[in-house]
Amino acid sequence: MRREAERRCSNLFPLRAVEWTSAEADATQIAAESADIVTASQSFHWMNPETTLPEVTRILRPGGVFAAIDCDWPPSVLPELELAYNECVANADHPQYADIRLARVKSWSKHQHLENIRRSGCFRIARESTFNKVELGDTERLVGLARSQGSVAALLRAGISEEEVGLVELRRTGQRLLGDRQIPWFWSYRVRIGVK
């Protein structure tokens, strides 16, 4: 992910406008009170809130904002295609694969983000806002999104076939409903905000 971010930023920003560092979320090595905004986009669930939020507060200036951004999965698309996506992810969450899923990195519930921000005592204000976005998507993009889900990715890494996971059926359903065309997708984002 970092390599991709560096590649994209090299085309968008002048040389040295973006500084990169390798560190853990709870030990960033960033100077105290040096940031106005800290974001965790689709990633806060991989961070221990008890150790990460104090670090975020340490690097934020007074009045600075922490934003944990997550989108609702899947985007709203055709009902039958959305059902096929949900069935694929449910296949990956089946109890028969519990040992494979338990072997992956620990995660924290996205539904607890706001409560974790509030309970940390690090922020004067904590709230949730929602946003919506419309963009175009096709079958392969939806299959790619399913592949990126933690449980699906863990099974694929463990050698479980795309057929067993349900990706082949998701692709078939998408091809039947969409062919090669793109349609509007409606994304909903939840942003949990803490103000220092």
User: What is the number of domains present in the chain?
Assistant: 1
| pLDDT on residue 9 | 84
Strands (E), 42-124: 60-71
| pLDDT on residue 103 | 62
| pLDDT on residue 13 | 79
| pLDDT on residue 43 | 93
- Asked if residues 95 and 147 have their Cβ atoms less than 8 Å apart, the reply is no
Question: Residue 15 maps to which CATH number?
Answer: 3.40.50.150
| pLDDT on residue 38 | 97
Domain that holds residue 43: 2-195
| pLDDT on residue 139 | 96
Residue 188 has, within 13 A of its CA and on its CB side, a CA count of 8
Low-confidence ranges of the chain (pLDDT < 70): 101-105
